[in-house]
């Protein structure tokens, strides 16, 4: 026994045998998706023999529309070999209503990961001294060297950056330490 999911767009059920839905498959699927004859036949061989029989009928033009407005190519699959799974006589997938919540959860978890990574980030601020007149104690070349030395010392440190400045620097912590994530 092999379980093979069929493309929904090419499936339909209009009849029942012993209160079980019977599946019709539109053989036009193989022409729509597999334009190369060799590839089409290779794919067709992956399907049960009933599909090959239906495809041959389709190619011979024997699968005509059964009602006005219908399209050609619909083949009734062997009811012993094909089954439609549905819950409570609904054609909608089970638990479809939770998909938006799962998307929201995924986005919230991504945001939480980025917030946690941000909390681990550190910035080393080295403030260059100025004298009582407001002039630099070091010249700009010396300041550049001090900055480069600090950067080299911290190259293997994860989540640490170096800032060299003459101005006073203040970092505002935007994280709210009192709240926890409730999206889980």
pLDDT, tens only, 121-171:
777 787 888 888 888 888 888 888 888 888 888 778 777 777 777 666 655
- Statement: the pTM of the whole predicted model exceeds 0.85: no
Q: Which regions of the chain does DSSP assign to beta strands (E)?
A: 11-17, 20-26, 74-76, 122-127, 160-165
Biggest distance spanned by C-alpha atoms of the chain:
99
- Report pLDDT for 74: 96
**CA 174/CA 112 separation, integer angstroms:** 14
Q: What percent of the chain has pLDDT over 90?
A: 29
Lowest-confidence pick of 54-58, 136-140, 180-184 = 180-184
Structural domain boundaries of the chain? 8-87, 115-171
């Amino acid at each position: 026994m092999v379980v093979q999911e069929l493309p929904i767009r090419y499936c339909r059920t209009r009849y029942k045998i012993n209160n079980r839905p019977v599946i019709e498959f539109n053989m036009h699927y193989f022409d729509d998706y597999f334009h190369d004859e060799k590839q089409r036949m290779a794919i067709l061989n992956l399907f049960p023999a009933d599909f090959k029989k239906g495809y041959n009928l389709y190619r011979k033009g024997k699968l005509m529309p059964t009602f006005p407005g219908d399209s050609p190519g619909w083949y009734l699959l062997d009811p012993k070999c094909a089954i439609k799974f549905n819950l409570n006589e609904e054609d909608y997938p089970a638990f479809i209503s939770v998909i938006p919540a799962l998307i929201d959860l995924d986005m919230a978890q991504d945001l939480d990961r980025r917030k946690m990574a941000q909390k681990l980030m550190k910035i080393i601020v080295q403030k260059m001294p100025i004298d009582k007149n407001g002039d630099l104690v070091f010249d700009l070349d010396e300041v550049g060297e001090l900055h480069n030395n600090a950067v080299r010392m911290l190259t293997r440190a994860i989540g640490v950056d170096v800032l060299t400045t003459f101005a006073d620097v203040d970092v505002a912590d935007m994280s709210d330490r009192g709240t926890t994530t409730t999206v889980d």
